[in-house]
């Protein structure tokens, strides 16, 4: 299960290494040695995610131990504010242009820079974008249990049931999916499942839901269709 959120007694008094073992108590030895700090690694993650267009809160959550304010503050100090503003370099392909090239990109992977940083990401079998939510079992234990859905999973419409435009749009959006695990879903994160539950390549969309709906805008469009539209397209 995911344990780096909300460290109980944690209170970043400031920056520093809160050396005193105020929390040296019997806490889980989870990642948290010496109060969070902007290590090269963390800064790199911050830069990468910020460049990808992730929000400060999302970045904060990923990093753990910091608030979105901290992230924003750091972003400013690093001087990489306005993520917009064309970069001096050939734009590295912004990941958010709906209604655009429908290129068949089968790889939904952000591909972090191969720098010299020891990626804190799970290796081999996991989707690189997010720590795999299945740490409890030995790697050899493949074929994990069917995901216990909290609610019935939506039917995955076959390609011939949705318009090409919508399909393209959805795929585009899914590249930006937050890839949440079941436990990370909240009332307002899109619960559309993506990938095969029987493999590691499975997660939930997680983007903001349309008010009152369980899915984000893109997924609502494929989940809720007028009967007529469905009938017309089928068969």
Partner DNA sequence: CCCTGATTCGC
Partner DNA sequence: GCGAATCAGG
Nearer of residues 74 and 191 to DNA, judged by Cβ: 74
What CA–CA distances, in Å, run from 29 to 7, 35, 40, 61, 197? 12, 13, 22, 19, 30
67 binds DNA (CB under 7 A): yes
Contact 220, 213 (CB under 8 A): yes
Look at residues 151, 161, 155, 145 and name the one whose alpha carbon lies nearest to residue 198.
Answer: 145
82 binds DNA (CB under 7 A): yes
The whole-angstrom separation of Cα 111 and Cα 79 is 24
87 binds DNA (CB under 7 A): no
Count of residues near DNA by CB under 7 A: 26
Distance of closest approach, residue 131 Cβ to DNA, in angstroms: 19
**Binding residues for DNA restricted to 143-202, rule: CB under 7 A:** 186, 188
Of 22, 30, 40, 77, the residue at the interface with DNA (CB under 7 A) is 77
Of 22, 31, 34, 69, the residue at the interface with DNA (CB under 7 A) is 69
Nearer of residues 74 and 222 to DNA, judged by Cβ: 74
The whole-angstrom separation of Cα 159 and Cα 165 is 11
Residue written as tokens 């299960």?
1
- Main-chain dihedrals φ then ψ at residue 26, nearest 5 degrees: -65, 35
The whole-angstrom separation of Cα 19 and Cα 16 is 8
Of 4, 12, 110, 210, the residue at the interface with DNA (CB under 7 A) is 12
81 binds DNA (CB under 7 A): yes
- List the x/- string, 23-62, binding to DNA by CB under 7 A: -------------xxx----------------xxxx----
Distance of closest approach, residue 67 Cβ to DNA, in angstroms: 3
Distance of closest approach, residue 204 Cβ to DNA, in angstroms: 16
Distance of closest approach, residue 134 Cβ to DNA, in angstroms: 25
Distance of closest approach, residue 7 Cβ to DNA, in angstroms: 11
Q: What is the contact surface with DNA in residues (CB under 7 A)? A: 12, 14-15, 36-38, 55-58, 66-70, 72-77, 81-82, 186, 188, 208
């Amino acid at each position: 299960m995911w344990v780096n959120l909300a460290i109980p007694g944690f209170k970043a008094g400031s920056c520093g290494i809160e050396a005193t073992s105020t929390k040296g108590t019997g806490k889980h030895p989870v990642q948290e040695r010496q109060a969070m700090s902007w290590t090269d690694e963390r800064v790199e993650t911050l830069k990468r995610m910020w460049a990808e267009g992730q929000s400060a809160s999302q970045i904060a959550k990923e990093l753990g131990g910091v608030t979105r304010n901290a992230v924003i503050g750091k972003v400013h100090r690093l001087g990489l504010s306005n993520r917009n503003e064309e970069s001096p370099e050939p734009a590295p392909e912004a990941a958010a242009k709906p209604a655009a090239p429908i290129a068949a990109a089968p790889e939904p992977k952000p591909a972090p820079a191969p720098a010299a940083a020891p990626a804190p990401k799970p290796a081999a079998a996991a989707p690189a974008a997010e720590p795999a939510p299945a740490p409890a079992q030995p790697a050899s234990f493949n074929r994990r249990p069917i995901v216990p859905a909290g609610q019935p999973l939506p039917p995955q419409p076959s390609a011939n049931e949705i318009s090409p435009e919508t399909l393209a749009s959805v795929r585009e959006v899914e590249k930006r999916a937050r890839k949440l695990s079941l436990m990370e879903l909240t009332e307002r994160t899109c619960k559309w499942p993506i990938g095969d539950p029987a493999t590691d390549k499975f997660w939930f969309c997680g983007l903001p839901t349309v008010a009152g709906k369980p899915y984000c805008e893109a997924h609502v469009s494929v989940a809720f269709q007028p009967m007529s539209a469905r009938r017309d397209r089928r068969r």
